[in-house]
Chains A and B, each alone.
Chain A
Amino acid sequence: MMETSLSEIQKRKHPYAKRRIWTFVFLLISIIFVCLYSIITGSVKLQLHEVWEGLTGEKNSMFYTIVWDLRLPRTIVGLIVGMCLAISGTIMQGVMKNPLADPGIIGVSSGAALMAVIITIVLPQYIILLPFAAFIGGFVTAMLIYALAWQGGSSIARIILVGVAINAIIGATMSAIMLLYSDRVQAVLPWMAGVISGATMEQAKLLALYSIPGLILSILAIRHIRILHLGDEMAKLLGHHVERSRFLLIVISTFLTGIAVSVSGLIGFIGLVVPHMIRLIVGSDDRFVLPLSALGGGAFLVFADTIARSWFDPIELPVGLLLSFLGGPFFLYILHKRGNVRAFS
């Protein structure tokens, strides 16, 4: 009797319910640990009590300076950039109905990179405008691709094809500039590989200011991504405005990537790998995939950045480079092990 009622209760729950809770708890704990790890690690190793002293202690003490001026800003920036990239990837994969989609498809990365190359190489006197210019470059390129793909309606296939063409043109332009100014290429290379260095508290605050509206918008976007999974026609039949929400989603995704790219350069892979891994664990329901990817992306980037700046002393490796080195094989391993999983619909 007891057993039947127990199985009755279990039937009334989503099969992944437990896993989702555990993943959430695990990621939350990881974020805390990773942030601590990031704060204690560096040329001066801190003890936990020293971190506490730095956080709460007097201004101008050594620990205060290390924690507030050096390590914390970098940790915050890493956290936010990781979140933005992971969410942006989740959204783009939903819109394109393709697990391999990342915001690069819609040209954000290449547009931002082109602007970064132009600023750092051709107009180095305006280097202060780099984040702003990169953001604008990414955003304008994305909108251009969307507009060119429009033919009385947008279609995923056309967006992807137009994206390929525009990305090729931008890539060629970039190469041309780099060839013409080959003596100055050095300056832009770290940016192309993706770095979070020299972050200040001011920058971190500014970044938070921009990204929070984006993050909130992305939560509101979950509904739209989910219904698009049913297919354009079915979504329309359920009274949904497919074009409108596709455009909204692309704008949000572009915005988030734009923010991330503008501060950290081209950090690839997080937007692709993190949502994919989360989906393997908790299924494809974006109500869970999106927030969990955000947590995962944040934790992952902070962790990778800490390793990149500390393990290879005295060199500071660009974090983007490390991510691709670590993420690539790990991704392959997961694909190999869980090849039969319906990672996506």
Chain B
Amino acid sequence: MLSAKHITYQHSDHFLIEDVHVEIQKGEIVSLIGPNGSGKSTLLRLLSYVLKPIGGTVLLDGSEMHTLSRKAIAKKMAMLPQTNNHQLDMTVRELVEFGRNPHKGWFQAINDEDEKVIRWALQMTNLQSYEYRFLHSLSGGERQRAWIAMALAQRPEVLLLDEPTTYLDISHQLEVMELIQMLNEQLGMTVVMVLHDINQAAQYSDRMIVMKDGKIQYDDRTQCVICKQMFQDIFGIDVDIRYEGDKPFFIPIRKTCHMSCLT
């Protein structure tokens, strides 16, 4: 569905992503995790083609990104960056309408089909009654759902999310994660997301990619990635791994060494 082959990217002397391979299958939920500055957000932005790699190619459904127009990409793939503007003075509906942009020519207005898609997006995110509420009057979780509704209005097959739950309280976090899971199950939406909370990532993803220093260190099924060794290597902490059904989760025990010995 979405793959990156030998991609290289550098935006400063200290930061380099080199020769990275990622292969995302249709219908998967994949989480990208790693310490701050490990390059996980950069990798996501490279996959979304907001950033263009210096070397290597990104393929969407078999076609190379640079051969596709921005609109063609946006019809297949939606991405929500982390830095969404929370102070936008617009209603939920206006935001969701923007999701139709890739499907519209320069002078085309919203037609019946767009209207149907907008209704559907609002319904999927359970925001029908919020249609004419202002974004700044919503709670963090509702606002995040509104952004997801906008992404849905693009009718994408792939959804990329950069830390969709950061700054939300725990109940809103779960609300958003469950919405994402529902989209995956009901629509077969392929989801790639950067998550900060590793337990959450383990709970909701089929596969996890662990990054450090601009390299992919682990890329495997969740049960294989969540292990003592991984936490030791990547984060320098001792953990206890437990299972809830077939989902692993970890409990941090102590830091094994100071930051300096990790680098």
Nearest-Cβ distance from residue B130 to partner chain A, whole angstroms:
9
Interface-centre pick from B89, B94, B99, B106 (highest chain A CB count, 10 A): B89
| B50 and A344 within 8 A (CB) | no
Nearest-Cβ distance from residue A337 to partner chain B, whole angstroms? 18
Q: Encode contact with A along B114-145: 1 for CB under 8 Å, 0 otherwise.
A: 00000000000000010110101000000000
Chain A contacts for B71, CB-based, 8 A = 239
Closest to B103 in A: A239
A237/B132 in contact, CB under 8 A:
no
Interface residues of B in 72-92 (CB under 8 A from A): 72-75, 78-79, 81, 83-85, 87-91
- 1/0 per position for A257-287, CB-CB distance to B under 8 A? 0000000000000000000000000011100
**Contact among A234, A237, A240, A285 for B90, CB-based, below 8 A:** A285
A231 to B82, CA, bound (A): 12
* Chain A residues, Cβ within 8 Å of B106: 220, 223
Q: Are A234 and B84 closer than 8 Å at their CB atoms?
A: yes
| Interface membership of B48, Cβ < 8 A | yes
Instruction: With A237-B74, A239-B70, A239-B73 as known contacts, state yes or no: A342 contacts B87, CB within 8 Å.
Output: yes
Please, how many angstroms separate the alpha-carbon atoms of A226 and B70 in the complex? 18
Instruction: Determine which of A12, A13, A233, A238 lies in contact with B99 in the assembled complex, contact meaning CB atoms within 8 Å.
Output: A238
Chain B residues touching A, range: 20 to 34
Q: A229-B88, A239-B70, A239-B101 are in contact. Are A234 and B81 (CB under 8 A)?
A: yes
| A342 neighbours in B (Cβ, 8 Å) | 87, 89, 136
Question: If the complex has contacts A237-B48, A238-B99, A238-B154, are A283 and B89 also in contact, measured as CB distance less than 8 A?
Answer: yes
Is B69's beta carbon under 8 Å from chain A?
yes
State which of B88, B102, B131 has its C-beta within 8 Å of the C-beta of A11.
B131
Q: CB-defined interface of B33-59 with A at 8 Å, one 1/0 digit per residue? A: 000000000000000101000000000
Once A231-B83, A236-B70, A237-B50 are accepted as A-B contacts, the answer to whether A14 and B89 lie under 8 Å apart by CB is: no
Q: Does A184 contact B (CB under 8 A)?
A: no
Residue B98 at the chain A interface, CB threshold 8 Å: yes
Residue of B whose beta carbon sits closest to that of A229: B88
| B243 at interface by CB-CB < 8 Å | no
Chain A interface mostly helix, strand, loop or mixed? loop
- The answer to whether A233 touches B81 (Cβ under 8 A) is yes
Contact B91 A237 (CB under 8 A): no
Tell me the bound Cα distance from A250 to B184 in angstroms: 42
Interface residues in A193-230 (C-beta closer than 8 Å to B)? 220, 223, 226-227, 229-230
Q: Which residues of A contact B48 (CB under 8 A)?
A: 237
Q: Which of the four size classes fits the interface of chain A?
A: 20 to 34
Q: Is the CB of B70 within 8 A of A241?
A: yes
In the bound complex, how far is the Cα of B106 from the Cα of A220, in angstroms?
Answer: 9
Task: Give Cα distance in the complex from A233 to B45, angstroms.
Answer: 10
Give bound CA distance, A11 to B154, whole Å.
25
Interface status of A345 (Cβ within 8 A of chain B): yes
Q: Which residue of B lies closest to A224 (CB)?
A: B106
Q: Which of A11, A13, A241 has the most CB of B within 10 A?
A: A11
Question: How far is it, in angstroms, between the C-alpha of A229 and the C-alpha of B150 when the chains are bound?
Answer: 15
How many Å lie between the Cα of A233 and that of B131 in the bound state?
Answer: 24
Q: Do A240 and B101 touch (CB < 8 A)?
A: yes
User: What is the CB-to-nearest-CB distance from A131 to chain B, in angstroms, rounded to a whole number?
Assistant: 32
A171 close to B (CB within 8 Å)? no
In angstroms, Cα B79 to Cα A240, docked, is 14
Whole-angstrom distance between the Cβ of A288 and the nearest chain B Cβ: 11
B70 near A14 with CB under 8 A, answer no
A13 nearest CB neighbor, chain B only? B132
Asked if A15 lies at the interface with its beta carbon under 8 angstroms from chain B, I say yes
Within 8 A of A (CB), among B204-244: none
A239 to chain B, nearest CB (A): 3
Residues of chain A contacted by B85 (CB below 8 angstroms): 229-231, 345
Instruction: Give the distance in Å from the alpha carbon of A14 to the alpha carbon of B88 in the complex.
Output: 15
Residue B167 is within 8 A (CB to CB) of chain A in the complex: no
Cα–Cα, bound, A264→B124 (Å): 54
Which of chain B's residues has its CB closest to A17's CB?
B132
Contact status A14-B132, CB under 8 Å = yes
| B residues near A344, Cβ cutoff 8 Å | 89
Partner of A12, one of B73, B78, B94, B131: B131
- Known A14-B132, A239-B102; judge A345-B50 contact (CB<8 A): no
- Check B79–A237 contact: CB distance below 8 A: yes
Residues of A near B74 (CB, < 8 A) are 237-239
Residue of A nearest to B107 (CB): A220
Instruction: Report which of B91, B102, B107 forms a contact with A238, defined as CB distance below 8 A.
Output: B102
The interface residues of chain B lying within 8 Å CB-to-CB of A11 are: 129, 131-132
> Please, how many angstroms separate the alpha-carbon atoms of A116 and B132 in the complex?
49
CB-defined contacts of A236 to chain B, threshold 8 Å: 50, 70
Further contacts, 5 of them, CB under 8 A, given A15-B91, A237-B78, A342-B89 = A11-B132, A12-B131, A227-B101, A240-B70, A342-B87
* A interface residues with partner B (beta carbon < 8 Å): 11-15, 220, 223, 226-227, 229-231, 233-234, 236-241, 283-285, 342, 344-345
A-B contact pairs, 7 of them (CB 8 A): A14-B93, A237-B74, A237-B78, A238-B102, A283-B89, A344-B89, A345-B88
Interface residues of B (CB under 8 A from A): 48, 50, 69-75, 78-79, 81, 83-85, 87-91, 93-94, 98-99, 101-102, 106-107, 129, 131-132, 134, 136, 154
